Structure 1
Amino acid sequence: MRLRLSVPIALLLASTALPATAEPPETTSTRIALRDTPLTRDATREVHADRAFDLVGLTWRGPAPERIEVRTRTGSHWTPWTALEPIDSAPDRGTLQGSEPLWTGRADTAQVRARRGGVDVTGDLELVAIDPGTAPAAAPRSNAPGQPPVVGRAQWGADEAQMTWPPERTETKAVVVHHTAGTNDYGCRESAAIVRAIYRYHAVELKWGDIGYHALVDKCGTIFEGRAGGLRDTIVGGHARGFNQGTFGVSMMGNYDRVVPPPETVESVAAISAWRLGTARVAADGRTELIAGPAGNSHFPAGAAVPLPTVFGHRDVSRTACPGQRGYERLDEIRARATALQRDNRP
């Protein structure tokens, strides 16, 4: 199948400041144990990082807090409190767990609140503060027949020394749609830095060895290559524990619980989904069956045969709000547009 996809004009407007041969921007992270900071009377812990950061996440071992909230400050201005969900939990609760990452923009101080069973558990957490550097990405381009333009890993500045996960092949039966959560308050020239920061958080701090998603789409519709080899081949991702086998994970960059995804984002999610499913000869408006693997927050026990649409939301298989209520409401539109793209581009 050869897909000649129309894509948003925003895809063609990205900066060309980072050539493929450039050294990746330095991305650094700082880990701070909250138990080492004072607990205030309102059960809040405040930490000041020695180095300014742009993204934060919280990690822990054992059961996840029932609620985690974070806010950050630069100078005298505090942001509003933002609630963060735990990322898919592992069956073994003794392994390292983490929250969704939060893009903060430039900040140097964070406050954290976390409770489980009505009791403060901030002392169980570590704050991860990440500085992804400032280089923007090169312009997206199509690297395979019919593929919509994509900003490749070299173009957004992936440090391949951080990629320690051995690629494992699978087949593509379905697309799982996510959102990165956190915030929508970013400029699209910052998108490459957001991807670098998520990569560092997933690969290094959560010890996944690579970024979990196969592709990420910003609010201007620019598509970024995620997991190494995930666009050149059918590689297992790390985006929906229990359902990574047989699926391709694409994440909308932003929080789409109360905010409607921009049309440019919806179009690009449909475009990359149509292309990836098309390479596997899977209809975007079809249905499939996946076998659930072990997961701590899955709706299904390991070994269950689960019937699903070929484009579905993360919340369909896991106990999560992802891809947000407004994002979830756009899945029918994404399926319909992906189906139209497949139909229009049949040989």
Structure 2
Amino acid sequence: MTEPSSAVSRRTLVTAIGATAAALAAAPAAHAAASGAPTAPTAPAQAPAAQAARTVTVPATRSRSAAGRAAAGARTDFPIHYVGVSWDGPRRGGAIRLHHEGAGPGAWQPLTAGCAGGPDLPAAAAGAARGAAVLVPAGGAVGYDLRLPDGAANLRSTALDTTNGPARTATLSPTAPVTFCGVEYLSRAAWGADESKRFKNGAENSPAKYYPLQTLTVHHTDTPNADADPAATVRAIYEYHAVTQDWGDIGYHFLIDEAGRIYEGRWSGDDGLPAHDANGNVVTAFHTSGFNSGNLGVALLGTLTGQEPTAAARRSLALVLALLTRTHGLDPQAHVTFVNPVNGVTKPVDLISGHRDWLATDCPGGAMYAALPALRAEVAAL
């Protein structure tokens, strides 16, 4: 089994990114056509010209949270985009019904268990699924009622509006476009991350910690497919993870929508190198509770239980995984022993794994999980 890799320096990492981008761009098109592997876009011949910093306006997120008995129902004065629901205990059997303006309560809908995550736990608790945590699309509802399974406790719910709030100004990088392995990605500012959400009582809620990259984990967000506003969904996930779940930030390092757009996730510093610190170590996120440190999470937006990701999303996923494995000197088809540097927990796992390989969860969906062996081969072929 492969031992955990050591950290690489920033200079080595940046150099490797350039070399990887060039190598991926030069991958023979004939090989890609024969193997079905995705092709990489041509890397830019030179860095894009610097531009003046620009500002964009993004809707501020509005939310209303409750806990305990008060969380079982809510009415709002804003249209609800998502309802975040979590509880401890049995993961199956919960239900929600939505209230829309001018209509009675809708039908009860079952609640799925969602994509389980959270901070790293002590060794004795690693791998334990404490309950359910799910984002439910609400379609502009003005209220909801919740029904929990027998034995459930510690209910928490949050009504979220990420599309209709007052305008908030964000400043984008003076260099555009921002690229990662020759592929443009949306920085946190570009998708509308409100960095104040990372702070609590005047201090950073979850200060960034960094460790050598050992493994990569694929997720789905268990949110609607054919999403008309994926950036708004990313903002909902961010608010739910950072504030409602009290993790201090979004749980994933990268997210990818159905059009193949890549979104920067967990904050890792201001050096322009997403997911890494200046020494090439990977920031710890919250995507695989108990197994986060040294484990990078990439989430595909949508629900991939009965359908695979779009061709564009899968192509971007393969490119991101190829970049990361090459620059860190990892074999995408290896089986490794993950060693959490925080709690000492070990776990044998594929280097590119699915969330369910770590915890009791349906993530990344049955269709995506079945596609992982082919994905590993595609990444290795790039």
TM-score, normalised to structure 1's length?
0.77
Residue 270 of structure 1: CA displacement?
Answer: 1.1
Mapped to 1, the partners of 2:325 and 2:225 lie a distance apart of: 28
State the SS of the aligned residue for 1:107.
strand
Which of the numbers 98, 104, 111 marks the counterpart of 2:145? 111
Task: Give the conservation status (yes or no) of the 8 Å contact 2:254–2:299.
Answer: yes
Alignment of 1:41-190 (within 5 A): 46-60=73-87, 62-75=88-101, 76=103, 78=106, 81-85=109-113, 87-88=116-117, 91=125, 99-117=133-151, 121=152, 124-133=154-163, 141-144=177-180, 146-163=181-198, 164=204, 165-187=206-228, 190=229
State yes or no: 1:305 paired with 2:346.
yes
Mapped to 1, the partners of 2:356 and 2:249 lie a distance apart of: 22
Which of the numbers 20, 30, 34 marks the counterpart of 1:3? 20
- Indicate the residue corresponding to 1:331 in structure 2: 372
State the AA in 1 paired with 2:327.
T
Mapped to 2, the partners of 1:293 and 1:318 lie a distance apart of: 18
State the SS of the aligned residue for 2:66.
strand
Task: Give the conservation status (yes or no) of the 8 Å contact 1:49–1:108.
Answer: yes
Q: List alignment gaps of at least 5 residues for structure 1.
A: 9-18, 38-44, 295-301, 342-347
State the AA in 2 paired with 1:213.
Y
State yes or no: 1:219 paired with 2:258.
yes
State the SS of the aligned residue for 2:373.
helix
TM-score, normalised to structure 2's length?
0.71
Cα 1:264–1:65 shift into 2, 3 Å: same
Residue 273 of structure 1: CA displacement?
Answer: 1.1
Mapped to 1, the partners of 2:182 and 2:249 lie a distance apart of: 23
Mapped to 2, the partners of 1:20 and 1:243 lie a distance apart of: 38
Mapped to 1, the partners of 2:248 and 2:288 lie a distance apart of: 16
State the AA in 2 paired with 1:151.
L
- Indicate the residue corresponding to 2:242 in structure 1: 203
Residue 24 of structure 1: CA displacement?
Answer: 4.6
Residue 334 of structure 1: CA displacement?
Answer: 1.9
Mapped to 1, the partners of 2:213 and 2:344 lie a distance apart of: 19
State the SS of the aligned residue for 2:316.
helix
Residue 169 of structure 1: CA displacement?
Answer: 0.7
Task: Give the conservation status (yes or no) of the 8 Å contact 2:338–2:349.
Answer: yes
Cα 1:20–1:113 shift into 2, 3 Å: farther
State the AA in 1 paired with 2:320.
I
Mapped to 2, the partners of 1:71 and 1:88 lie a distance apart of: 25
Mapped to 2, the partners of 1:171 and 1:231 lie a distance apart of: 11
Residue 338 of structure 1: CA displacement?
Answer: 1.5
Mapped to 1, the partners of 2:245 and 2:131 lie a distance apart of: 7
- Indicate the residue corresponding to 1:318 in structure 2: 359
Cα 1:102–1:47 shift into 2, 3 Å: same
State the SS of the aligned residue for 2:329.
coil
State the SS of the aligned residue for 2:306.
coil
Residue 50 of structure 1: CA displacement?
Answer: 2.6
Mapped to 2, the partners of 1:262 and 1:278 lie a distance apart of: 24
State the AA in 2 paired with 1:243.
F
Residue 161 of structure 1: CA displacement?
Answer: 1.0
Mapped to 1, the partners of 2:96 and 2:318 lie a distance apart of: 32
C-alpha distance after superposition, 1:14-49 (max 9, x if no partner): xxxxx8533553112101346248xxxxxxx65322
State the SS of the aligned residue for 2:89.
coil
- Indicate the residue corresponding to 1:228 in structure 2: 267
Task: Give the conservation status (yes or no) of the 8 Å contact 2:137–2:223.
Answer: yes
Which of the numbers 30, 36, 42 marks the counterpart of 2:64? 30
C-alpha distance after superposition, 1:281-324 (max 9, x if no partner): 11222232102589xxxxxxx74532222110010111111101
State the AA in 1 paired with 2:222.
A
Mapped to 1, the partners of 2:148 and 2:341 lie a distance apart of: 29
Task: Give the conservation status (yes or no) of the 8 Å contact 2:111–2:134.
Answer: no
CA-based RMSD of the aligned residues comes to 3.2
* Sequence identity percentage: 30
Mapped to 2, the partners of 1:273 and 1:98 lie a distance apart of: 28
State the SS of the aligned residue for 1:111.
strand
Mapped to 2, the partners of 1:68 and 1:141 lie a distance apart of: 44
Task: Give the conservation status (yes or no) of the 8 Å contact 1:82–1:182.
Answer: no
Cα 1:159–1:20 shift into 2, 3 Å: farther
Cα 1:313–1:141 shift into 2, 3 Å: farther
Cα 1:327–1:36 shift into 2, 3 Å: same
* Paired residue total: 306
Cα 1:167–1:183 shift into 2, 3 Å: same
Mapped to 1, the partners of 2:81 and 2:55 lie a distance apart of: 25
Mapped to 2, the partners of 1:183 and 1:71 lie a distance apart of: 17
